[in-house]
A and B are shown apart, each in its own frame.
Chain A
């Protein structure tokens, strides 16, 4: 069971959270203006990252907020969590790149 830093509530157990897929996949402002390929990309195509992955979580059994996280999929370690709408943090440590 992971420990996840909720940007509002602090470090909390995974049991309180729901995973919500890849982060920073914005819904097009005007979907009707998208090409079929663009719309397909938005709807279905996601990264399958080995390493640092930007993803969404929801503290559903806590403050109920959606937020974003950077997690290393090879180690299950979270490198950062940040509120929805905030830009992806730049990781400082050597050897880590988002």
Chain B
């Protein structure tokens, strides 16, 4: 047992004990503990097994940079979150946590054999090994690798929690509420600017929380933080967000924040979202992200009990936990001396400070020695011992570049400091330019790409007084840039602090030619040896080395490892660090749950569900619906015992022999109004409209300028300067957009305007030989006779007293009407027609029947018979083109030679030789039977149905040179054998079209 709770100190609430379990064993901690601090207080050192070699690992940090101590927290089967950093998991009563990457137990793990096999598992082992035979990949290699690899396990049940999303806007967004961020927020908000301040931790203060003995302007840090927070809370222009990570910097100053709302609560209220995504648009972003201490790289540096000196200090001062009773510090930085002195003062034995700098000197060393701590300079670490935790460290002393003196020192914790790396992740994400600072041995923000500034130690500022004042100054400057003026205050801090400079890279070893197996990236299990191998194999670009070895990748994004890896690579290649360059920092800064990206978009709110005025009626009638875009459309109306086939047969027969009714409200409708409306439509559609009389309509085909069919519909002239244009259901929005585009940008001189009226109208199609009889008693001010209202006639009148636009039109080939009434009246009029139709056996029908009926007549559906490569002539619609028009959209393309090639795919009918066989839509067509693959495909089936009225199957197809092949027998190869088909014309029923005019 090494770690222990000390008698006093820390910010935990010792009056509130919290029970929790880790790997099934019960422990106790205090309110305010993290899982890491509570486990350390209980003497736990091993937190998990590593990713690749399954080596036992402890906690090395105290914050979000922790690469090792990844745990799974289980609330229940569905709420099981893997890969949480134990350093960020706040303790709550009843918390259940599990270690990861171990089987059967943390202390004994079968795959730890990987560690012994490590000479066989070099960089890119998977790429190099699991290549042959190819067939083994899916069945053998991949499943094994997947089981062995990966971090944690995801839950198997749907996520029951709610996730929230918000947009927010502010003048200054301050990221990080340490000394710089707090000073910045205090100053900027004093100007009146709207300020948002976020921090990933549960309380504001950042590194100041680790400094109980320091004073700011004479006040203790605890008092200063409390007073500052009171000030910020009192300001209405300030939004404060704890437990909130700025995870991504998006263009034009949009920052993604991930707020964790209920993760720390033992029993969250059901309505509370678990997490929230904030999309914050800030006039100015102020990054006060602080800096992260680097570990040192030497053999055995990943043993549990090895941790950052700053972390030991945090555990001591924030949680009242001593990470060991007998510690050794290894440092390349003055910063570690503060930890040594604080631990010493807390009663921890500091066995040795091994300073790797031969020339280390000055106040920190003097103070340590005065306290009776032994300090050696020019030291290095040759190795560590201890099966599940460090028990001994071998220190070497360097003289003239070689190790000439080694000694073994007993310890139960080994604390490292390689100096601090400024956290430039967000700045780098913003595409700001980083510059290497020789003195600081660090990359620092230089040229901004977005309206942002960095403040404090994330831009290399050292020392609390300087950091606070920098925060205040940058806070004032940010407010000013957003249009608010304020003077920056001056702070004065007294604290035990030394410089944060350090030495990145790998510590020297006895045999420099044999790179030691020292861990550079703990999370990805990348060693200095792996990096060296990658370089020997010819990888010199740092981006390539990153991908080949995986260093700095994944959830960790190299927070503790990047600079060490870079310095090592630079050293080996004999280049400077800036010459080697830095890999790109990727978002998210720390992992973000998918839940917040889904937000409200789940269940019924996943996408708007659009329904028509008559939807509820169809639901009551037991209709089966299909999704057409966002619309729900009734597909068929089964009666009891009917399957779709039986229902569709019945519905089809009803329309052909009596009368049916159909909800056509989802078809797009556009009202085109103005003196130039007819000209506009004539320029757009292939048809002519100038000659279209008021009260008449015409089938219109719309091409794009490439000559291919884009949409179709019926265009009716309601008045001289007013047209009612219908589009396909799916084409409504894009056709409207295309029309606006031509009007606004190509023909702005045309005086006509568009209004979408899709949702203004409920559209009821009444189709069949009895259609007129059904409508006649319901309408007024309308003459339904064939003479007064012939096929494609349009009129206005009333139905059931409701104003109506009545179209004589037919997508079935029968006598038909489409009744358009304002949508709020749709249901009442539908019900009235349904009632009036009872004596005639009126039958509601759905989209499936509509499809069969139109296919029997050879009418195309855009998107089914067409696919963006079909011209009007290909579809057999060449007759619709007004050839005398000088131009229309697509006309020039139709004049291209290839558009008339005789072997273009043309629309034809297909009749299977066996009338019972219904072809599969999408099936390919070949000319001769018995071909071997690859066969020569000459067409494909676009529509295929059983036709009740014909008592057999029918199909439409696009076929090379199809119209010249009518009468031929072709073949449709299917897994069960070839199906012989005969090529026919596209119209299968009522070829003369007499029924239409009834």
Contacts and interface: CB of A to CB of B under 8 A. Distances in A.
A37 B173 CA distance: 53
A66 B896 CA distance: 30
Nearest to A4: B252
A13 B281 contact: yes
A45 interface: no
Contacts of A85: 745, 748
A1 B255 CA distance: 10
B886 A66 contact: no
**Residue with the greatest number of chain B CB neighbours at <10 A, chosen from A1, A58, A84:** A1
A2 B281 CA distance: 10
B744 A39 contact: no
B250 A1 contact: yes
A66 B740 CA distance: 8
Interface string B443-454: 000000100000
Nearest to B449: A75
A30 interface: yes
A60 B741 CA distance: 11
Contacts of B449: 75
Interface string B876-916: 00000000001100011101100000000000000000000
B737 interface: yes
A2 B887 contact: no
B978 interface: no
B887 A31 contact: yes
B359 interface: no
A27 interface: yes
B741 A66 contact: yes
**Residue with the greatest number of chain A CB neighbours at <10 A, chosen from B252, B745, B746, B893:** B745
B431 interface: yes
Interface string B717-752: 000000000000000000001001100111010000
Nearest to A64: B740
Contacts of A3: 252-253, 281
Interface string A24-57: 0011101110101001001100000000000010
B740 A34 contact: no
Given A27-B746, A66-B740, A84-B744, A1 B251 contact: yes
A39 B892 contact: yes
Given A31-B891, A32-B895, A34-B892, A1 B279 contact: yes
B706 interface: yes
A1 B254 contact: yes
Contacts of A66: 740-741, 744-745
B891 A32 contact: yes
B895 A75 contact: no
B705 interface: yes
Nearest to A21: B741
Contacts of A39: 892-893, 896
Contacts of A27: 705, 746
Indicate the size class of the contact surface on chain B. Answer: 20 to 34
Interface residues of A, number: 27
Contacts, number: 57
Contacts of B745: 56, 66, 84-85
A40 to B, nearest CB: 9
B153 to A, nearest CB: 34
A76 interface: yes
Contact of B741 (A20, A26, A32): A20
A42 B746 CA distance: 13
B706 A84 contact: no
A20 B737 CA distance: 10
Nearest to A40: B896
Contacts of B892: 28, 31-32, 34, 39
Contact of A2 (B252, B279, B737, B741): B252
**Residue with the greatest number of chain A CB neighbours at <10 A, chosen from B741, B746, B748, B892:** B892
Contacts of A84: 744-745, 748
Nearest to B706: A43
Contacts of B253: 3
Given A65-B744, A66-B740, A66-B745, A30 B251 contact: no
Contacts of A31: 705, 887, 891-892
A23 B996 CA distance: 47
A60 B895 CA distance: 33
A69 B740 CA distance: 18
A64 B886 CA distance: 30
A43 B705 contact: yes
**Residue with the greatest number of chain B CB neighbours at <10 A, chosen from A2, A27, A58, A85:** A27
Contacts of B431: 75
Interface string B691-706: 0000000000000011
Interface in B756-776: none
Nearest to B888: A31
A58 B746 CA distance: 14
Nearest to A23: B745
Nearest to A13: B281
**Residue with the greatest number of chain B CB neighbours at <10 A, chosen from A31, A42, A56, A75:** A31
Contacts of A18: 737
A75 B887 CA distance: 41
B447 to A, nearest CB: 12
Contacts of B891: 31-32
Nearest to B733: A60
A66 B745 CA distance: 7
B744 A1 contact: no
B894 to A, nearest CB: 10
Interface in B97-156: none
Nearest to A34: B892
B501 to A, nearest CB: 34
Given A43-B705, A58-B737, A66-B745, 11 more contacts: A1-B250, A13-B281, A27-B705, A27-B746, A30-B887, A32-B886, A32-B887, A36-B896, A39-B893, A60-B737, A66-B740
19 contacts: A2-B251, A2-B252, A3-B252, A28-B892, A31-B887, A31-B892, A32-B886, A32-B891, A34-B892, A42-B705, A43-B705, A58-B737, A58-B740, A60-B737, A65-B744, A66-B744, A75-B449, A84-B745, A85-B745
Q: Which 7 interchain pairs have the tightest Cβ spacing?
A: A31-B892, A3-B252, A76-B251, A66-B744, A84-B745, A27-B746, A1-B254
